[in-house]
Amino acid sequence: GQQLNQSPQSMFIQEGEDVSMNCTSSSIFNTWLWYKQEPGEGPVLLIALYKAGELTSNGRLTAQFGITRKDSFLNISASIPRDVGIYFCAGVGGGADGLTFGKGTHLIIQP
Amino acid sequence: GAVVSQHPSWVICKSGTSVKIECRSLDFQATTMFWYRQFPKQSLMLMATSNEGSKATYEQGVEKDKFLINHASLTLSTLTVTSAHPEDSSFYICSPGATEAFFGQGTRLTVV
């Protein structure tokens, strides 16, 4: 199946720094989603974006649905240790059933 | 509380045996259930879509005779991995089709 291009693959940052990750696609998606996954668990939805150009915040997290409907970014401000994990973008549409996931961004916070 | 309940959370089986994974929607009726597979350090990939009362649809490259899906009621979908091989070892996750917000807890399958 198709996948989204998610970058970076991993990030090593200091606590307190801001984080930015993005996803791009060759296909148009109707919905963009951002998830966080802990080891051995299912993904947990962080932010859902339903409209091109939409900018949505959830606490320290901010995400935007690209105007072309082919991209999205997620920002995390003032990172804390609990933010460690793997973040996935996902899209709905693009001619596929279910969700199409990016390959994930592994966030590591150094003390 | 959990909206989707998936069992078992982990299972170890011998090559050649079959394993059944259950996914229950607790607070709503799910006419569609998505089944994903996630290999270590990789993303989730859609395997198949189960439909209540009708045949499941499978993604390209997924063997329907090996991964049997049953969606007999609006609250229960099952995935059976038949004649399991070590390469089937993976993390299997379900998600109701009605919402992208919820996933099962996942099942870690290890075939030895």
> Kindly report the CA angle at B94 between B88 and B99, in degrees rounded to 5?
155
Please compute the mean of the pLDDT values over residues A62-74 and round it to a whole number: 97
Instruction: Return the percentage of chain B with pLDDT > 70, whole number.
Output: 98
Which of A2 and B56 is assigned the larger pLDDT?
Answer: B56
pLDDT value at B11 more than 60 = yes
Residues in chain A within 8 Å Cβ distance of B62: none
pLDDT interval class at B2 (50, 70, 90): low
Q: Which amino acid is at A57?
A: S
B72 — contact with chain A (CB < 8 Å)?
A: no
Sequence-distant (≥ 6) Cβ neighbours of residue B25 within 8 angstroms: B3, B4, B33, B74, B75, B76, B96
Whether residues B46 and A48 touch (CB distance < 8 A) is answered with: no
CB A15: neighbour CB atoms within 10 A? 12
| For residue B111, pLDDT beyond 60 | yes
Q: Compute the average pLDDT of residues B10-16.
A: 97
Residue B103 CB-density burial (10 A; 0-12 exposed, 13-18 middle, 19+ buried): buried
Q: Is the CB of B20 inside 8 Å of chain A's CB atoms?
A: no
Q: Which pLDDT does position A2 carry in this prediction?
A: 64
The three-state secondary structure class of A92 is strand
Please give the structure tokens belonging to residue B28.
């709503």
Strands (DSSP E) contained in B14-96 are 19-25, 32-38, 44-51, 54-58, 67-73, 76-81, 90-96
Q: Tell me B53's DSSP state.
A: T
What is the average per-residue pLDDT within B76-102?
A: 93
CA distance B76 to B41: 29
What is the band of A1 on the pLDDT scale with cuts at 50, 70, 90? low
Instruction: Find the residue in B nearest to A98 (Cα).
Output: B34
- Average pLDDT on A62-88 reads 97
Predicted confidence (pLDDT) at residue A57 exceeds the cutoff of 70: yes
CB B106 to CB A42 under 8 A?
Answer: yes
Q: Are A61 and A46 in contact (CB under 8 A)?
A: yes
Instruction: Return the DSSP state at A95.
Output: T
Cβ contacts of A36 on chain B, cutoff 8 Å: none
In angstroms, the CA B37 to CA A68 distance is 29
